[in-house]
Structure 1
Amino acid sequence: MLWSFVFTMLAVVLLARLAQQALAVAYGRYRAIFTDQADVRLAEVFLFLDARQLWALNVAFCAAVVLLVGLMSANVVLALMLGLGALGVPPLLARRTRQRRLAKFDAQLPDLLLALAGALRAGSGMQTALRQVVSGFAPPLSQELGLMLREQRMGRAFDEALSGLSMRMPTESTRLVVSALTIATHNGGNLAETLERIAFTLRSRLHLLGRIDALTAQGRMQAWVMAGLPLLLAVALHYLEPQAMAQLWESALGWTLIATVLVLEVAGVLLIRRIVNIEV
């Protein structure tokens, strides 16, 4: 009996040690991935911050979520799950920031092309026209084109600088503009008229995208209402009928139902967003 107890304790200690080592390795790997991706994504939006400080803020945010949920619900498992889920909040915010930056850049392109066409008609060269018009625009267009001009001053070819711009801002509008400028610089022709036509095309495309967003706004709102209503209803019933809802929070069957509901909620939101996401 004594030896059985000793072997059991040794097995528990060994498993705890292995779990600790696995968690330490996973923590270090996730931290390295987080800091590397944070450096790249922050540089893409011209935010030069220390990724290590962002990691510390992310850990503090997750700890605050765990503490707050634990105090409010007195459920350790739920608090830990939401704390782990909070680790995905910074990547989502970074992705959303990049999407907004790309959309704003596309919205500035028609005005840029018209300004370039006017400068070319006045007799300026392409690079001179770019330097003249870039200073009059707000970020992100002024930042991206300013970086492209600085690359040219450092000796990079104009075609390579345009390719770098297309890689940093991978949108259909940017690729169209880069292709037109590349072809025009190699083959010549009436570049001012070409830029004006492209500006008209991009403006029409933005107008069409705006109409699509307006027509599909109700569907996107329905997705969030559909996803949020069961959660709000569960919280309300938890405070109105705590004894009845205790079976949901404190039993294996209840946790199975919660996991099933979450999976179906996510699937429904993704399906609705796929339906209303119309590509032009």
Structure 2
Amino acid sequence: MSLDTLSLLLAALTLSIGVWGFREWAVGALDRRDLASRSALDEVERRANSPLARLDALIRPTDIGTKIEQRLRAAGLKMKISVFMMIVAVACVVAVVFLWRALAPIFGILAAVGVVAGIFGYLKRQEERRKEAFTAQLPELARVLSNATQAGLALPTAIDMAAEELDDPAGSELRITARAMQLGQPFEEAVADLRDRMPSREIGVLISTLLVASRSGGALVTALRNISETLDSRKETRREVKTILGESTATAYALLGMGIGSFFLVNALMPGSIQNMTESTVGFIIILVALALFTVGFLAVLRMTKIDF
């Protein structure tokens, strides 16, 4: 199969997926017009029978579907598993076609790997941002729980009240915990699930204090107030450290961008040079070494600027 034929097939596949996505959007737009005249049961049934819902039902029970769903929820992205996988597939096809034609076939293959790694890297970054936002709300959470318990409320009731007062992500996570306790889950298991969803040292200290208070009692109000003051100090320290390391982190991404951009620059100055290098054993090895060096440099800078609090 020639290069042009393969490129046409990949382009046709991308166009087909795009047309299908546009059709789903158009059908949804038309259906929303008569949403007011539908009953809630009819709307639920219609959504359950949609192609994306059926695809979700097939993917969700699998191991990869379960992991993707957990990561999407942890990142705070309200997206169906099928939609996420379609985005990954379309992005891979577009990257393969573009770099295959612009540089060389080997770069098309590497582009697919890079796109998948980039998307899941973005997903991990969103998880970290949401966890950091939750950690930043912990001082306020400790104050709300302290005031509620001082007023004589039980811990489950105090958590339910905190879920209503705090913004997301703390509000949504606490609502999950409060609803689990309302459905009969023990307090210890519910808060342990919260710690598993948002793991950090700060939430570990807060949950441990709540668990000790629920089992043996004690001066919970005083402990929560002390924790609130400590968490405020840690939040300021984390903010200062992130500000100091921001320049180094930007350098890592600039290094990666320079590495990728250098291939396009060389190919623009000498058209076809990258293609010729991939057809030569020595040139191919040079390209692999260059890619490896830029990747190692990027990962090394990120690792050096990563500090565990």
Q: TM-score range by the shorter chain?
A: 0.7 to 0.9
In terms of mean alpha carbon deviation, does 64-73 or 43-52 score higher?
43-52
Q: Provide the TM-score with structure 1 as the length reference.
A: 0.80
- How many pairs were matched up? 249
- Kept after mapping to 1: 8 A contact 2:156/2:181: no
The alpha carbon displacement at 1:166 in A equals: 1.1
Greater gyration radius? 1
Cα 1:264/1:251, change in 2 over 3 Å: same
Cα 1:185/1:49, change in 2 over 3 Å: same
Cα 1:66/1:195, change in 2 over 3 Å: same
Q: Residue 183 in 1 paired to residue 212 in 2? A: yes
- Kept after mapping to 2: 8 A contact 1:34/1:55: no
- Kept after mapping to 2: 8 A contact 1:114/1:196: yes
Whole-Å separation in 2 of the counterparts to 1:114 and 1:231 = 48
Computed over aligned residues only, the root mean square deviation of the Cα atoms, in angstroms, reads: 2.3
Cα 1:186/1:216, change in 2 over 3 Å: same
Match of 1:199 in 2: 228
Report the AA paired with residue 108 of structure 1: Q
Structure 2 counterpart of 1:56, from 86, 99, 103: 86
Q: Residue 71 in 1 paired to residue 101 in 2? A: yes
Whole-Å separation in 1 of the counterparts to 2:95 and 2:211 = 51
Report the AA paired with residue 230 of structure 2: T
- Kept after mapping to 2: 8 A contact 1:105/1:140: yes
Match of 2:283 in 1: 254
In terms of mean alpha carbon deviation, does 52-61 or 175-184 score higher?
52-61
The alpha carbon displacement at 1:182 in A equals: 0.5
- Kept after mapping to 2: 8 A contact 1:35/1:52: no
Match of 1:6 in 2: none
Whole-Å separation in 2 of the counterparts to 1:35 and 1:217 = 34
Q: Provide the TM-score with structure 2 as the length reference.
A: 0.73
* C-alpha distance after superposition, 1:103-124 (max 9, x if no partner): 1110111111112212222333
Secondary structure at 2:258's aligned position in 1?
helix
Q: Residue 81 in 1 paired to residue 81 in 2? A: no
- Kept after mapping to 1: 8 A contact 2:195/2:204: yes
Match of 1:42 in 2: 72
Cα 1:88/1:218, change in 2 over 3 Å: closer
Cα 1:256/1:165, change in 2 over 3 Å: same
Secondary structure at 2:165's aligned position in 1?
coil
Structure 2 stretches lacking a partner, 5+ long: 1-61
Structure 2 counterpart of 1:113, from 142, 159, 179: 142
Overall identity of the aligned pairs, in %: 24
Structure 1 stretches lacking a partner, 5+ long: 1-31
Report the AA paired with residue 214 of structure 1: T
- Kept after mapping to 2: 8 A contact 1:113/1:199: yes
